[in-house]
């Protein structure tokens, strides 16, 4: 059976590493990105597999709809929602157009492309979706002194974690696997495009991130954290969340009652 993968943000960084690895593993590819020249160059460099290029800007409705149509009509065995922008800044300083771009690329686009892909995957009884988030998804409780403020970015990545976990449970028994990939700082162009110099910060390679993601799918991981050795830490986070969810009652908590 042929293997067909669609990768967004495929022209650089983690997305390019995914596309390279999948081509080497014999996947035919649909590569999505904003830059047609880079997409065409990738296709020309990989004649050993069938590569379809889809130039699309996932910050726009037209771009999202274009990719979602491909996801709905092609027999994908793997969807990698990798496209991203950062716009690291406090919410009050974040221009409205940049906030809209960030939410479109990291929330709306992966939600709609995943929605489009999973129906066919369920009908065929197999497939996988990898949503690329990051460890910043877990940084919400960090104090100001520890973590620079980037509320919309952190919130968007947290959405991908919750979406992926909940969807994985929804699809149990269908043969379709869902994974959210949460690397730390990765050595790519991503931060440079934001004007950030992280050359002095220890960083994981994009190739190692892809290795973790693909191995994580084999292991059945829903949350893949490539740089976290002790996975019991993640288990504790999720167990605490479920404990709080399960501790609800219809009565007002004591601390909110006036004397």
* CA 253 vs CA 245, 246, 247: distances in Å: 14, 14, 11
Tell me 179's DSSP state: E
Strand partners, 111: none
Query: Is 88 designated active site?
Result: no
Selected catalytic residue, list 77, 153, 157, 160? 153
Q: Which tokens hold the place of 96?
A: 């409205």
Strands 127-132 and 78-81: parallel
Single out the residue of 83, 209, 93, 226 nearest to residue 148, CA to CA: 93
DSSP string, 49-112: S-EEEEE--TTSHHHHHHHHHHHHHS--SEEEE-------S-GGGS-HHHHHHHHIIIIIHHHH
Runs of H (alpha helix) within the chain: 13-24, 36-45, 61-73, 96-103, 109-124, 151-170, 206-219, 232-246
Question: Quick one: angle between helices 96-103 and 151-170, nearest 10?
Answer: 20
d(CA 128, CA 62): 25
Catalytic residues, by residue number, are 153
């Amino acid at each position: 059976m042929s293997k067909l993968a669609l990768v967004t943000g495929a022209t650089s960084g983690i997305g390019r590493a995914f596309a390279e690895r999948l081509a080497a593993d014999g996947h035919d590819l649909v590569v999505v990105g904003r830059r047609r020249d880079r997409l065409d160059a990738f296709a020309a460099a990989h004649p050993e597999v069938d590569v379809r290029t889809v130039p699309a800007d996932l910050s726009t409705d037209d771009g999202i709809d274009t990719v979602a149509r491909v996801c709905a009509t092609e027999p994908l065995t793997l969807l990698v929602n990798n496209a991203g922008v950062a716009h690291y800044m406090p919410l009050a300083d974040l221009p409205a157009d940049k906030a809209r771009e960030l939410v479109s690329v990291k929330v709306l686009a992966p939600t709609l492309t995943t929605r489009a892909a999973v129906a066919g995957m369920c009908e065929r009884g197999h497939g996988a979706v990898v949503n690329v988030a990051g460890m910043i998804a877990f940084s919400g409780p960090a104090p100001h002194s520890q973590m620079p403020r980037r509320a919309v970015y952190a919130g968007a990545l947290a959405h991908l974690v919750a979406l992926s976990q909940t969807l994985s449970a929804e699809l149990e028994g269908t043969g379709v696997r869902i994974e959210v990939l949460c690397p730390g700082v990765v050595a790519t162009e991503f931060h440079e495009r934001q004007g950030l110099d992280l050359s002095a910060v220890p960083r994981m390679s994009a190739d190692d991130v892809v290795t973790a993601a693909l191995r994580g799918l084999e292991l059945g991981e829903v949350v893949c954290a490539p740089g976290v050795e002790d996975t019991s830490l993640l288990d504790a986070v999720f167990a605490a969340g479920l404990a709080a969810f399960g501790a609800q009652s219809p009565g007002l908590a004591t601390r909110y009652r006036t004397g």
